Amino acid sequence: MTQAVKPDAAPLLRVGVVGVGVMGSNHARVLTGLPGAELVGVADPDVRQADFVARTLGCAALGGVDELLDLGVDAVTIAAPTHLHRDIALACIARGVHIMVEKPIASSVEEGREIITAARRADVTLMVGHVERFNPAVEAIKEALRNEDILSIAITRVGPFPPRMSNVGVVIDLAVHDIDLIRWFTDSEIVEVQPQLSSAVAEREDIALLQFRTASGVLAHINTNWLTPFKARQVTVATRGKYIMADLLTRQVTECFGFQPDGSYSMRHLSVGHAEPLRSELLAFLRAVRAGSAAAVTGEEGVASLEIAIRCLSHRPTATAAQRQAPRVVVG
Ligand SMILES: NC(=O)c1ccc[n+]([C@@H]2O[C@H](COP(=O)([O-])OP(=O)(O)OC[C@H]3O[C@@H](n4cnc5c(N)ncnc54)[C@H](O)[C@@H]3O)[C@@H](O)[C@H]2O)c1
């Protein structure tokens, strides 16, 4: 399936994208510009959308994953709706095709594990699209945390309602990014969850305040909602020696350090790169495919983050607007 480019160059990887809506069309755009890869086709039952993306990028438009696989591809990225990830992933794995599955890996932990098992048996690369890890601001935080004793992490990920409501709430759609970051920053698993959820406007939870403790003893907090009129993505991390503040949108990362007994301290802005996170993520996927090495975000990590998100949802019932009591009236 691979084509030689130059005698001394690595063979071109033939890649495809399954599902070219909001996220998948970005995958397709980025893949066309990657060295060592050729975007062969995009598959989407929405024929107009598939045709539009294919015409724009100069590749084939297919109606479904089987037709795309029939073209002979080495690797695909899967950006179809989450409830289809398992079936599409298994179809690709059965044909020996390497896969990068968008986050969350699947609709359930069981489905995620099915994908992992099948990929391992077929010896194909499986990566999960937790793209935030490739945000240069996040990479700078991770680097600043090297050899630090992390004490607490607070992440805010808020914004307006998405233009098209999917069938998931903020925990599965947004908080799963930050659950992955907490696990990654701490190199530790989340062992305790204390979620507070509310459905203020939507049917599913649209506000979530989630608290965690990791096995390593780090306390972490996620504040996420779809009720904020603007997007905000902020991370703060307290370690014994530093206090790190990051804005993941402006990519400004600042650390306070050198704490003195008189309360004074030093402060510096960290150097942050400019790379497009999706490009870095897809390059990492293709590198893992070529090297046959573990992916930057493994299937197991995708399932671990999904499992915590689902635990938050099953912890206690979501308070709905109808169940809220009027504020206490203070007399006197
Ligand atoms: N990493 C991120 O930051 C991020 C951001 C957004 C979405 N996502 C994930 O990407 C996935 C897609 O989300 P989206 O917002 O792009 O959704 P979307 O609805 O915009 O796109 C999904 C596309 O999949 C197509 N599709 C439906 N059935 C299909 C099938 N059987 N085979 C192929 N394609 C099919 C739809 O026609 C649509 O074009 C979800 O898993 C979502 O969680 C990740």
pLDDT reported for residue 321 = 63
What is the percent of the chain where pLDDT is above 90?
A: 88
Q: Measured from the CB, is residue 65 less than 6 Å from ligand 1?
A: yes
Predicted local confidence at residue 316, as pLDDT: 62
Nearest CA to ligand 1 atom 15: 22
Closest CA to 224 of 285, 304, 289, 313: 313
pLDDT over threshold 60, residue 327 = yes
Q: Is the CA virtual torsion 31, 32, 37, 41 positive or negative?
A: positive
In this prediction, residue 315 carries a pLDDT of: 74
Predicted pLDDT at 4:
47
Q: Which residue has the tokens 């063979």?
A: 11
**Interatomic CA distance for residues 261 and 283, integer angstroms:** 46
Q: What is the pLDDT of residue 318?
A: 60
Which pLDDT value is given to residue 202? 87
Q: Give CA–CA dist 47/45, Å, rounded.
A: 5
| 327 vs 104, more confident | 104
Which CA distances in Å does 115 have to 11, 67, 79, 198, 227?
A: 27, 21, 15, 32, 34
Residue 6 has pLDDT above 80, yes or no: no
Q: Examine the pLDDT at 220 and tell me if it is beyond 80.
A: yes
Interval 144-163: pLDDT, tens: 999 999 999 999 999 999 87
Least Cα distance to 71 among 14, 145, 116 occurs for: 14
Is any atom of ligand 1 closer than 6 Å to the C-beta of 129? yes
Banded pLDDT at 330 (limits 50, 70, 90): confident
Residue having the nearest C-alpha atom to atom 10 of ligand 1: 79
Which of the 8 DSSP states describes residue 262?
Answer: T
Q: Is the CB of 62 under 6 A from ligand 1?
A: no
Q: Roughly how many angstroms between the first and final C-alpha of the chain, as a whole number? A: 80
Mean pLDDT (whole number) for 295-320? 89
Q: Is there an atom of ligand 1 within 6 Å of 15 CB?
A: no
Distances (CA, A) of 206 to 23, 147, 326: 21, 36, 20
Which whole number is the average pLDDT over 57-82?
98
Are β-strands 319-320 and 190-199 bridged in parallel, bridged antiparallel, or unpaired? parallel
Helix axes 136-144, 176-186, angle to 10 degrees: 30
Is residue 286 over pLDDT 60? yes
Which residues are CB-neighbours of 173 under 8 A, at least 6 positions away?
Answer: 162, 166
Cα-to-centroid distance, 134 and ligand 1 (Å): 20
| Mean of all residue pLDDT scores within the chain | 94
- Asked if 76 contacts 277 with a C-beta cutoff of 8 angstroms, the reply is no
pLDDT above 70 covers a percentage of the chain that reads 94
pLDDT surpasses 50 at 142? yes
Instruction: Give the tens place of pLDDT for each residue, 114-133.
Output: 999 999 999 999 999 999 99
Determine the distance separating the centroid of ligand 1 and the alpha carbon of 289, expressed in angstroms. 23
Q: For the segment 195-206, what is each residue's pLDDT rounded down to a tens digit?
A: 999 999 988 999
Q: How confident is the model at residue 9 (pLDDT cuts 50, 70, 90)?
A: low
pLDDT for res 271: 97
pLDDT of the residue at 3:
52
Average pLDDT over residues 256-272: 97
**What's the pLDDT score for residue 319?**
61
Indicate whether 10 pLDDT > 80: no
Counting beta carbons within 10 angstroms of the beta carbon of residue 308, is it exposed (0 to 12), middle (13 to 18) or buried (19 or more)? buried
Would you say residue 7 has pLDDT above 60? no
Per-residue pLDDT at 173 exceeds 50: yes
Q: Whose CA is nearest to atom 19 of ligand 1?
A: 21
- How many degrees, rounded to 5, is the angle at CA 158 between CA 153 and CA 159? 165
- Identify the burial level of 178 via C-beta atoms within 10 angstroms of its C-beta, where 0-12 means exposed, 13-18 middle and 19 or more buried: buried
Half-sphere exposure of 287 (CA within 13 A, CB side): 10
Substitution candidate for ligand 1 out of 22, 77, 165, 177 with most atoms within 8 A of CB: 22
Q: How far apart are CA 107 and CA 233, in angstroms?
A: 25
Average pLDDT over residues 283-306: 97
Residue nearest to atom 43 of ligand 1 (CA): 103
Task: Quote the pLDDT of residue 165.
Answer: 67
Distance separating alpha carbons of residues 314 and 320, to the nearest angstrom: 15
| Shortest-distance Cα residue to atom 37 of ligand 1 | 46
Q: 258 CA to middle of ligand 1, Å?
A: 46
Bridge partners of residue 127, in order along the sequence: 100
Any idea how long the chain is?
Answer: 332
Pick from 68, 73, 66, 24: nearest CA to 49: 24
